[in-house]
């Protein structure tokens, strides 16, 4: 056997030919192109034998067993489905994955409380349900084969579980009456005797054994599988953010011997605000009407607050939206929805523009942006540029006549719109002032804002 250094022979100019020949061979009839192949490799869950109301965490392993990276895809997860899921569904929960190299796997976690009804359930996952990735095998995206069976069995002892805690209204003004509704369910296998439910209107952390409750209500008993709801009513204090807590069977030592003593606590956030002139405007049904040229003063009073506005277009056109007077210019998000509450456009800043809108009803939602902090006050400006009476006038051939001395109101209602006009006896140009004015206002306002914060 000979040993020594290898001698490499170089052939100038042949590299491109070799690469071209390789590419042609790959494209030749019968040659299989390299593609990803995404599969659900496994689903596991913990705890292995959850009780009713326990948090169950499912771990889904997705693998790319293909030859190239997959790119962006979505994974849908179903906590319980009697049949194997199919394409186009989003699942009970889901997550977007931005790439998965060939041969690599990724573990994803999905968590949910175990159902209050005991039984056997079947979990599934589906990778790329929207078929964004071209795969070598499109029929193996659901898994695992046969699903992942899991079950919930009742314990023989009673188990008091706070199923929900709500506050109405979630945002109130100082002096308003606020009602907290606490629903307790006995998820155990036997009846519970008498117990109480303790209540705290504001604690920064869960109540401890030394925290005397502000109020409590007694429950005479609760049969297995049954629920009861209790209302705690108070008067809203000064403006601020608060967190209320409720604790079932709170008296020292507890009155009910339960199979699980760790699921008796719940909490909810609630807010006391100095409302602006447009509250309550926190959903589509309470949206504030806004029209072309309006300037409205609003506030985002807390991190969960949102403001909705509604407007209409009678003819096709476009809009420009601007938020002003907000010192934290980047910390807002504007979303445009159509009349079916479907998102049309979102911008994570203080302006939004959308063109080529059809006639109909539209909604604007303003919320805090990247850090969710409140916005004391902002001004929203809306400019609507509807398609004018001279359309189409986008080319020389479509130019409409404009007599000398006659003013015509036109609009640039979309980004690529243009206006052409021909004059009588000397020519002229149409003043498409509405959209130009909107654009100028946006630019000027933005410059003033940046100058004032520099």
Indicate the fold that domain 160-272 takes in CATH. Immunoglobulin-like (2.60.40)
Beta bridge partners of 160: 186
- Alpha-carbon torsion (447, 449, 451, 454), positive or negative: negative
Find out whether 308 and 367 touch, Cβ atoms under 8 Å: no
Give the list of residues 6+ apart from residue 12 with CB closer than 8 angstroms, or none.
Answer: none
Quote the CA–CA distance of 408 and 392 in Å, as a whole number. Answer: 15
Query: Are the C-beta atoms of residues 329 and 350 closer than 8 Å to each other?
Result: yes
d(CA 7, CA 122): 62
Sheet containing 105-113: order of strands: 38-46, 55-64, 105-113
CB atoms within 10 A of CB 230: 18
* Strand (E) or helix (H) holding 317: strand 317-324
- The DSSP secondary-structure symbol of 114 reads P
Exposure of 171 in the CB half-sphere (CA atoms within 13 A): 17
Nearest to 154 by CA among 225, 95, 219: 225
Report the C-alpha gap between 186 and 155 in whole angstroms. Answer: 11
* Torsion angle of C-alpha atoms 432, 437, 439, 443, degrees rounded to 10: 150
**How many other CB atoms are found less than 10 A from the CB of residue 128?**
23
Q: Which CATH code is given to the segment(s) 284-384?
A: 2.60.120.380
302 three-state secondary structure: coil
Q: What is the pLDDT along the chain (454 residues), one digit of tens a residue?
A: 333 333 333 333 333 333 333 334 444 555 568 999 999 999 999 999 888 778 999 999 999 999 999 999 999 999 999 999 988 788 999 999 999 999 999 999 999 988 877 789 999 999 999 889 999 999 999 999 999 999 988 778 899 999 999 999 888 889 999 999 999 999 888 999 999 999 999 998 998 766 788 999 999 999 998 999 999 999 999 988 899 999 999 876 678 988 888 889 999 999 888 888 888 888 999 999 999 888 888 888 887 889 999 999 988 888 888 887 665 556 788 999 999 999 888 887 778 888 788 899 999 999 886 566 777 778 888 888 766 666 666 677 767 777 777 776 666 544 444 444 444 433 333 333 334 444 444 444 544 545 555 5
What is the residue extent of each domain of the chain? 38-152, 160-272, 284-384
Least Cα distance to 392 among 424, 373, 419, 355 occurs for: 419
Other C-beta atoms closer than 10 Å to the C-beta of 47 total: 12
CB-count burial class (<10 Å; 0-12, 13-18, 19+) for 135: buried
- The answer to whether the CB of 186 falls within 8 A of the CB of 159 is yes
Instruction: Count Cβ atoms within 10 A of the Cβ of residue 34 and give its class: 0-12 exposed, 13-18 middle, 19 or more buried.
Output: exposed
What is the pairing mode between strands 351-357 and 317-324?
Answer: antiparallel
CA distance 412 to 391: 10
Kindly tell me the sign of the dihedral angle through the C-alpha atoms of 197, 202, 208, 214.
Answer: negative
CATH topology match: 38-152 vs 284-384: no
Confidence at residue 392, expressed as pLDDT on a 0 to 100 scale: 67
Token pair, residue 147, equals: 């699903």
**Cα–Cα nearest to 319, from 257, 276, 381:** 381
Give every CB contact of residue 114 below 8 A, 6+ residues apart in sequence. 50, 51, 52, 53, 54, 55, 56, 152
- Region 38-152: CATH code: 2.60.40.10
Among 177, 161, 336, 148, which Cα is nearest to 258's?
A: 161
Q: Which two tokens stand for residue 96?
A: 């977007």
DSSP string over 246-301: EEET-STT-SS--S-SSS-EEEEEEEE----TT-S--SGGGPEE--TT-EEEEEE-
The CA angle 42-43-45, to the nearest 5 degrees, is 145
């Amino acid at each position: 056997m000979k040993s020594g250094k290898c001698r490499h022979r170089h052939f100038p100019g042949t590299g491109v030919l070799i690469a071209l020949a390789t590419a042609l061979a790959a494209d030749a009839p019968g040659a299989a192109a390299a593609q990803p192949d995404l599969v659900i490799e496994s689903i596991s869950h913990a705890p292995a034998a959850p009780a009713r109301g326990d948090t169950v965490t499912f771990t889904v392993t997705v693998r790319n067993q293909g030859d190239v990276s997959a790119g962006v895809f979505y994974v849908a997860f179903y906590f319980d489905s009697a049949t194997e899921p199919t394409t186009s569904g989003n699942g009970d929960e889901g997550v977007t994955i931005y790439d998965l190299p060939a041969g690599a796997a990724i573990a994803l976690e999905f968590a949910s409380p175990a159902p209050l009804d005991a039984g056997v359930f079947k979990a599934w996952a589906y990778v790329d349900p929207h078929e964004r990735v071209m795969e070598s095998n499109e029929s193996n995206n659901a898994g695992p084969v046969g699903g992942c069976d899991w079950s919930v069995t009742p314990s023989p002892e009673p188990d008091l579980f706070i199923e929900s805690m709500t506050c109405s209204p979630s945002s109130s003004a100082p002096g308003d009456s606020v009602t907290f509704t606490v629903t307790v369910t006995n998820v155990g296998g036997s009846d519970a005797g008498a117990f109480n439910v303790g209540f705290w209107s504001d604690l920064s952390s869960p109540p401890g054994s030394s925290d005397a409750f502000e109020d409590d209500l007694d429950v005479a008993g609760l049969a297995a599988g049954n629920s009861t709801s209790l209302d705690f009513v108070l008067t809203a204090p000064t403006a601020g953010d608060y967190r209320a807590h409720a604790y079932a069977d709170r008296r020292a030592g507890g009155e009910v011997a339960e199979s699980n003593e760790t699921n008796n606590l719940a909490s909810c956030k609630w807010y006391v605000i100095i409302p602006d002139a447009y509250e309550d405007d926190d959903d589509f049904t309470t949206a504030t009407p806004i029209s072309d040229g309006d300037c409205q003063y609003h506030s985002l009073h807390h991190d969960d607050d949102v403001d909705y506005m509604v407007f209409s277009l009678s003819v096709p056109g476009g809009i420009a939206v601007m938020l002003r007077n907000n010192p934290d210019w980047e910390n807002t998000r504007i979303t445009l929805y159509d009349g079916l509450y479907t998102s049309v456009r979102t911008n994570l800043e203080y302006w939004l523009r959308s063109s080529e809108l059809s006639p109909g009803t539209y909604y604007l939602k303003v919320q805090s942006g990247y850090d969710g902090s409140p916005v004391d006050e902002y001004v929203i400006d809306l400019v609507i540029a509807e398609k004018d009476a001279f359309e189409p006038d986008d080319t020389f051939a479509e130019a409409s006549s404009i007599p000398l001395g006659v003013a015509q109101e036109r609009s640039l209602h979309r980004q690529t719109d243009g206006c052409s006009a021909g004059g009588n006896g000397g020519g002229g140009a149409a003043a498409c002032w509405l959209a130009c004015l909107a654009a100028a206002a946006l630019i000027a306002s933005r410059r003033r804002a940046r100058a004032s914060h520099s």
